[in-house]
Copies of this chain bind each other. A is one copy, B any other.
Amino acid sequence: MMKIDNLLKNMSEWLKGSGPHSNIVISSRIRSARNLADVPFTQWANKKQRDESRKMIKSALESSPFLKKSNYLDMDGLSDIDKQFLVERHLMSREHASTPDSKALLFDDKEIVSIMVNEEDHIRMQVMQSGFNLTEAWRIANEIDNDLSARLNFAYSEKIGYLTACPTNAGTGVRASMMLHLPALMLTNQANKLLQTISKLGLTARGFYGEGTDVQGNFFQVSNQVTLGRTEEEIIDNIERVISQIIAREEAARKTLLMRSKEKLVDRIWRSYGTLRSAHIITSNETIELLSDIRLGIDMDIIKDITTAGINDLFVLTQPAHLQKMEKKSLSASERDLKRAELIRKRLSK
């Protein structure tokens, strides 16, 4: 699968550690849900209907001038490692990997746009940007959506808006989210309370891999809970306002840490760095937790000899399927723990 292997050589655009507030906001993401009017929703469709919708959508995607440099993959024939690899790169959902029948994925080389075909909805498009940058993500998403609307007949009701398999997505069909790194709010025990407050403002916080996943390494994916009855602009405006406040809180917490317990913080960060540079066996989980400390260390000018992009790269490359793709063979969990440690040592010893 050369299309997939090529991804290994590049870093996803959204992981470059650039863009506004990139010390706290890893990435901004717009996701839209669309369905064909003339075919049942994926879940209710039979195999023939699903194959038909995939064919129609594939043809539309390939005709779109905005998706010219993209790669299209049918899910059916992919190996488990390749599917897991695409999930690890945040190009598609775990669900898309677990039942690949009649499903497809399209993504561009920079991994800015990815489109799942026949996931919960017929079309699930995601546009990613590095840093606090929903507006640009939305601009791109809107452009592609307009183009696809001209090529496909989307299920739409004047009263509700876009129709979706799950009613929580109906209306604009748009979900906006940002991936936030909130180590100082976690260290000062303010994160839980803050996340409770968020849910009162129509937002929700999830783990690193989205819905149903644990918070690891102090990363939170914050998104809007409801899409119905609001315009896309209102959704984006609301989430941007709330996240601006979270950023301010995290920045204040970082200052507090520096003022009240700088030595403890420096000790923690350098110990994590020392462990990463020395360990010979390390799990994914421990890696993410330690890399989170290093990221904070870079942001706070405590660690100066590595870049955020370098650390982001390690977050991605140390994941199970990535390790196996790099080694070009399947590895057991304990073999991965060895290879992961080796890779990290090599990268951090420069």
Contacts and interface: CB of A to CB of B under 8 A. Distances in A.
Interface string A269-301: 011011111111100000000000000000000
A279 B275 contact: no
A266 B279 CA distance: 8
A97 interface: no
Interface in A297-314: none
- Count the copies: 2
Interface in A184-222: none
Nearest to A264: B281
B278 A273 contact: yes
B280 A270 contact: yes
A341 B271 CA distance: 11
Contact of A278 (B263, B264, B274, B341): B274
Contacts of A338: 263
Nearest to A276: B274
A49 B228 CA distance: 97
B263 A270 contact: no
Nearest to A341: B267
Contact of A275 (B266, B275, B280): B275
Contacts of A267: 279-281, 341
A274 to B, nearest CB: 3
Which of A278, A281, A338 is packed against the most chain B CB atoms within 10 Å? A278
A276 B271 CA distance: 8
A146 B53 CA distance: 104
Interface string A13-40: 0000000000000000000000000000
Nearest to A270: B278
Nearest to A262: B280
A302 to B, nearest CB: 10
A326 B158 CA distance: 81
> Most chain-B CB neighbours within 10 Å: which of A263, A270, A275?
A270
B278 A266 contact: no
Interface in A306-350: 338, 341
B279 A263 contact: no
Residue picked from A267, A276, A341, most chain B C-beta under 10 Å: A267
A275 B277 CA distance: 10
B281 A263 contact: yes
Contact of A274 (B263, B264, B266, B274): B274
Contacts of A280: 263, 266-267, 270-271
A274 B282 CA distance: 14
A115 to B, nearest CB: 42
Contacts of A273: 278
A145 to B, nearest CB: 49
Given A263-B338, A338-B263, A341-B267, A277 B279 contact: no
Nearest to A277: B274
Nearest to A338: B263
Interface in A236-272: 263-264, 266-267, 270-271
A263 B282 CA distance: 11
5 contacts: A264-B281, A267-B279, A267-B341, A271-B275, A271-B280
Given A267-B279, A267-B281, 5 more contacts: A267-B280, A274-B275, A274-B276, A274-B279, A275-B278
